[in-house]
Amino acid sequence: MHRFLLGTAIAATATAAFAADAPVVLDQELAQPHISGYGELYVGGLYFSVPGDHATGTAAGGAARVNFPIDARWNIQTDAVVDSLWVQGTNIYSYGGAVHGYWRDPSSYALGGFATLNGYGGDEGLSDANLYSFTVGPEAQAYFGNVTLYGQVYYGQLRASGESDHFDNWGGRGVVRFFAQDNLRFDGELGYSRLSADGGHLDTLTGALQATYRFSGTPWSVFGRYQWDHLTISEASGSVNVHKYVVGLKASFGSDTLLSEDRNGATMDTYRPNFGVPIF
Predicted confidence at residue 277, as pLDDT, reads 62
Predicted confidence at residue 28, as pLDDT, reads 43
The separation between CA 57 and the C-alpha centre of its own chain, rounded to angstroms, equals 20
Cβ–Cβ under 8 Å, residues 101 and 78: no
Please state the φ and ψ torsions of residue 264, each to the nearest 5 degrees.
-130, -5
- What is the Cα–Cα distance from 137 to 132, expressed in whole angstroms? 18
- Which H or E element spans position 14? none
- Domain at 2-264, CATH class: mainly beta
Please state the φ and ψ torsions of residue 259, each to the nearest 5 degrees.
-70, -45
Cβ–Cβ under 8 Å, residues 78 and 102: no
pLDDT in tens, the chain (280 residues): 333 333 443 333 333 333 333 344 444 444 478 999 999 999 999 999 988 888 999 999 999 999 999 999 999 999 999 999 998 888 999 999 999 999 999 999 999 999 999 999 888 777 778 899 999 999 999 999 999 999 999 999 999 887 778 889 999 999 999 999 999 999 999 999 999 877 788 999 999 999 999 999 999 999 999 999 999 988 777 789 999 999 999 999 999 999 999 999 999 999 999 876 655 4
Domain boundaries of the chain, sorted by first residue: 2-264
Please state the φ and ψ torsions of residue 263, each to the nearest 5 degrees.
-95, -20
Query: With DSSP H G I counted as helix, E B as strand and the rest as coil, what are the percentages for the chain, rounded to 5?
Result: 5, 65, 30
Strand, helix or coil at 213? strand
Predicted confidence at residue 9, as pLDDT, reads 37
Q: Which residues contact 236 (CB under 8 A, 6 or more apart)?
A: none
- What is the Cα–Cα distance from 17 to 39, expressed in whole angstroms? 27
Q: Which of 66, 4, 14 is nearest to 35 (CA)?
A: 66
Helices (H), the chain: 2-6, 258-264
